[in-house]
Chains A and B, each alone.
Chain A
Amino acid sequence: MIELTIDGKRIEAEKGMTILEVAKANNIYIPHLCWDRRLKPYGGCRLCLVEVEGQRKLMAACSTPADNGMVIHTDTPNLQKARRTVLELLLVHHPLDCPVCDKAGECRLQDLAYKYGPSESRFYAERKHDPEATSALIERNPNRCILCGRCVRVCWEHQGVGAINFIGRGFKTKISPAFEETLDCEFCGQCVDACPVGALGAKPYKYRARAWFLESHDSICPYCSVGCTLTLDLREGRILRVRGVDGKGVNDGDLCGKGRFGFDFIYGDTRLKTPLVRKAGELVESTWEETLYYVANRLRDIKRQYGADSIGAIGSARAGIEDNYMLKKFMKEVIGSDNIDTSARLGYAWVLRALNDTYGINQNPIKLDSPIGKEVVLVLESDLTSTHPIFGLKFLEAKNEGTYLMVADPRKTKLARRSSKWIRIKPASGTVFLLGLINYAIREGAHLREEKEIEGIDGLIESVKPYTPEKVSELIGVDTEQFIEAASRFVNAETRLIALTVGAAENQKGYETVLAAANLLMLLGEGPDSLQVPSDYSNTLGAWLSGTRPTEGGKDLYEMLYNPGSLKALYVMGEDPLVTMPDGNTVKKTLEELEFLVVQDIRLSETAKLADVVLPAAAWSEKEGTFINSQGIPQPFPKVVSPQGDSVPDWQILRNLARVMEHDLGITELGKLREELSRIQTDRGQQRWRFSPVEVPSVAQTTTDYPIIMVTGNIMQHSGALSVMSKSLSHVLSDAFVQISPEDAERFGVKDGEFIKISSPLGEVFIKARVSDEIPEGMLFVPVHFAHARVNYLVSHSRLGNAHPTPVKIESTSTATPRR
């Protein structure tokens, strides 16, 4: 602890804090432009000058460490004069185009010039006339730039991208992407929020409104399960932009591209506005009254004819817990069936099962800050910065603070690029890698270090016997030495963490991967906190916790979708199984064999096109609701815009349907529903450690017919099948592609940008190829978000939740059918 005086106030502070940080903590105002809480001190703008007694020069508060006994003045005539001069110098080049600048009204430079500056400058120089640089989502106006470098630093230090930097010298200095090309980055938009002036702006917001026309509401992001708080800026009932505000929500001001630009999916062209009913093979518009009576009659008939067990329902990982709970209640009380499930069955359910088989717990909420301060962090075949971007940032932050970040991934993901050690394993060999680590740990005698006796240790030792370092390094395709070095670092660390994602979209990991990770951690004496597996989507965990799953022996998602003929009627709420679930052929067959399919969604999805009745639901922010994020925090979000057309919140549709079926669910308003929800008890389970030997399933191997492994996954700008509705995100990426390594491209005669035919035993698709060195030889990577790509028709499903990478064959279309 040190003691210093600022403006006559005696203040205690931690050693190592800068003067600016101390002042901020004590509500003393020091102007600044280039300082950012998340970044290292830079001292570029010279506005935070303070007077320190005993020092001849003025000191920059942002980069001077506070010291014991310092006497600091933050507002003296001398300082006022200095700040005025600094502002005058900043304004030499800064154009006074505030009337057309979108930043006006919330511009830091404008505020400071108003506070300190003179109305006229003593200096005059030719203003810059560089053209505006546009890109898909971010607009750069180099003339307005004051070269504070916040965008450059936030992009590199915080976001780990480094898409822009300073170019040129002296008066000609400017911020630009490499070689002054068009900005082509991941479009997270963090630089836009960081810019204190109007040099960087979001293109969708450009010239749409002035800052003072906007009203702000806080909401929760509908995309991934991190559950970031978004600050929505609305004008006249339309969301115009989204900001992350420092100190708000779990994200603390950070946002990814999906959160910042993806909000406009609610204004998508494919939104449903009226109920649709299939008449003579065509979906025709109808009224709510007619539709609900029709649905009620059909459901009643099917129940009478085939029994309640022939009716199933699929909940949504994107709808609020209220909606999912209502669906469960509807199925239970009105239909009398327990056939209900969500997409969590194909991802998070495996994780929970693996955790139950090892640690004995039923829930393992992640902690966002968990990687920070760990000695070694292992990220296993997961692109966390894409699937859970804000969680991914914490790994970069940990790395910056000295954590050894180990990434085992065939793809050169962002984390792999920024890692301390990147182990390029073969696709879908993550489980084997973990088993090799277990084997190594046992050899090292790690299991003897702990005094605690854990059940099943002998079985584990027996099961990992074959996975010697030599064998494993051959299986995962790395040098034995490299593997042993990594293993020794991981096993001998003081603290460690394993992070991965498991989901329906990803086919290279599964139940056994989590099981192996849990076994390894238990062996090393680590609790479940060291295993961080986030749930997929905004409300995957919420749907699970609110009971949207079979609880009394009903059919789960597998039996409903991959068993054609087992159901007669299906009620799908906010899910698009035809696009998001593997093995599209079987899913399609199941859906086609149904007698009655009701789809309740915000848009006409692929599944809805097969439905007998399509009900329009209100989207996120058109209704109130609650998401439970992967940390297990229930976060309510408000209604801020009016629903499109005749769409109605999901839970209200179900309430109305129940009324039409002459059932009173006892729920008239959201408050009652929430009250019932609050009474749900969740059993977290008692920790009871036991080893559960991992059986590596016989993963489909490449053959001469199908020589290359296809891995599916998520990409940075999209999430599930929802984000493709967003026009902004589609500006960045709207077409499906397959990534192929340069070696394979050479081998199969594939050119960059051409369509290639990918076929697996289950089917064939045509996708555009992108040759990329992110991918190793022998692997294809395909994002799953695009319905028209039908990638999921190639992938097999896995009932036991095992990894199921798909061996495929690729053919260049230009060689198959030569172009003339």
Chain B
Amino acid sequence: MTVQELVKKVFFVEILKGLALTLSRLFTKPVTRRYPKEKRPAALGFRGLHALVRNPATGEAKCVGCGLCAAICPSRCIYIYTKEGPDHKKVVERYEIEVLRCVYCAFCVEACPFGAVVLTPHYEYSDYSRDNLYMTKEKLLQNWDKYMGEEGYNYFDKFWNPKADHFRTPKEQPKWRKS
């Protein structure tokens, strides 16, 4: 042990250094958020509670029940049941997400060819019952109204860039290109 080390030990230099930082913080603005009162805004693309996108034209869910979200879901927490509706159209009978099993990877959002499922910025949904966290189609649509609403479309299109447009039939004949 050198003399320098001995001095450091006897006079608690390290501890004093640390306390000096503490002292200095006493005079600065606190970084702590007073969470329940003060909420942190979610960043763009935050993966919170799930929602089904409402089609502004019809007011119904955009989902057509293609099942790609359920196929890609790594925790297998999406259940889709479809049936033949009136005039032989495909109708999504039930669309259910077991939120407690979700790992928030958002693969479902990326896989969806119609931009019909989304993770909202809402993150406060702990509950005392599992049943309340089993999302049905109605609950998921309500989630959209509550947490995304009008500005949701904007945010959603900008950030996730859903692939639905790629499936649209082009209006005009594309120009010939030499390949």
Binary per-residue interface labels of chain A (172-210) against chain B in the complex, 1 for a CB within 8 Å, 0 otherwise:
000000000000000000000000000000000011111
Binary per-residue interface labels of chain A (154-174) against chain B in the complex, 1 for a CB within 8 Å, 0 otherwise:
000000000000000000000
Question: Chain B contacts of A206 at CB under 8 A?
Answer: 84
Determine if A417 is an interface residue (Cβ-Cβ < 8 Å). no
Residue of B nearest to A120 (CB): B174
- Residues of chain A in range 117-143 having any CB-CB distance to chain B below 8 Å: 119-120, 122-124, 127, 132, 134
Determine if A104 is an interface residue (Cβ-Cβ < 8 Å). yes
Binds B, one of A93-101, A256-264, A590-598, A786-794: A93-101
- Residues of chain B in range 53-107 having any CB-CB distance to chain A below 8 Å: 64-68, 70-71, 80, 82-84, 88, 90-91
Interface residues on B, range: 20 to 34
Q: Is the CB of B66 within 8 A of A213?
A: no
Q: Is the CB of B170 within 8 A of A124?
A: yes
Determine if B169 is an interface residue (Cβ-Cβ < 8 Å). yes
Chain B nearest CB from A435 CB (Å) reads 56
Q: Is the CB of B66 within 8 A of A100?
A: yes
Chain B nearest CB from A753 CB (Å) reads 28
Q: Is the CB of A127 within 8 A of B169?
A: yes
Given that A207-B83, A208-B82 are known contacts, is A99 also in contact with B88, CB under 8 Å in the complex? no
Which of B64, B67, B169, B176 has a CB less than 8 Å from the CB of A212? Answer: B67
Q: Is the CB of A99 within 8 A of B68?
A: yes
Q: How far is the CA of A123 from the CA of B174 in the complex (A)?
A: 8
Q: How far is the CA of A119 from the CA of B176 in the complex (A)?
A: 15
Which of A104, A119, A132 has a CB less than 8 Å from the CB of B66? Answer: A104
Total contacts A to B, CB within 8 angstroms? Answer: 48
Q: Is the CB of B173 within 8 A of A100?
A: no
Q: How far is the CA of A119 from the CA of B114 in the complex (A)?
A: 17
Q: How far is the CA of A206 from the CA of B83 in the complex (A)?
A: 7
Given that A122-B174, A124-B170, A207-B91 are known contacts, is A98 also in contact with B66, CB under 8 Å in the complex? yes
Q: How far is the CA of A477 from the CA of B2 in the complex (A)?
A: 128
Chain B nearest CB from A120 CB (Å) reads 7
Q: How far is the CA of A134 from the CA of B80 in the complex (A)?
A: 25
Q: Is the CB of A96 within 8 A of B70?
A: no
Q: Is the CB of A213 within 8 A of B65?
A: no
Which of B84, B167, B174 has a CB less than 8 Å from the CB of A207? Answer: B84
Question: Chain B contacts of A122 at CB under 8 A?
Answer: 174, 176-177
Binary per-residue interface labels of chain B (144-179) against chain A in the complex, 1 for a CB within 8 Å, 0 otherwise:
000000000000000000000011011011101100
Q: How far is the CA of A314 from the CA of B70 in the complex (A)?
A: 49
Residue of A nearest to B168 (CB): A96
Which interface residue of B90, B91, B166 has the most chain A CB atoms within 10 A?
Answer: B90
Which of B68, B82, B167 has a CB less than 8 Å from the CB of A96? Answer: B167
Q: Is the CB of B66 within 8 A of A99?
A: yes
Q: How far is the CA of A634 from the CA of B65 in the complex (A)?
A: 42
Which interface residue of A98, A99, A124, A210 has the most chain B CB atoms within 10 A?
Answer: A99
Chain A nearest CB from B87 CB (Å) reads 10
Which interface residue of A96, A104, A134, A207 has the most chain B CB atoms within 10 A?
Answer: A207
Given that A122-B176, A127-B169, A207-B82 are known contacts, is A132 also in contact with B67, CB under 8 Å in the complex? no
Q: How far is the CA of A208 from the CA of B174 in the complex (A)?
A: 37
Which of B67, B91, B170 has a CB less than 8 Å from the CB of A210? Answer: B67
- Residues of chain A in range 741-795 having any CB-CB distance to chain B below 8 Å: none
Question: Chain B contacts of A127 at CB under 8 A?
Answer: 169
Chain B nearest CB from A88 CB (Å) reads 11
Chain B nearest CB from A646 CB (Å) reads 27
Inter-chain pairs besides A98-B66, A124-B173, A212-B71, 16 sampled, C-beta below 8 Å: A100-B64, A100-B65, A100-B90, A120-B174, A122-B176, A123-B173, A124-B172, A124-B174, A132-B88, A207-B65, A207-B83, A208-B82, A209-B67, A210-B67, A212-B67, A213-B67
Offer 21 A-B interface pairs, CB within 8 angstroms, sorted by A: A96-B167, A99-B65, A99-B68, A99-B113, A100-B64, A100-B65, A100-B90, A120-B174, A122-B174, A122-B176, A123-B173, A124-B169, A124-B170, A124-B174, A127-B169, A132-B88, A207-B82, A209-B82, A210-B67, A210-B80, A213-B67
Sort A-B residue pairs by CB-CB distance and give the 4 closest, nearest first. Answer: A99-B66, A210-B67, A124-B173, A100-B90
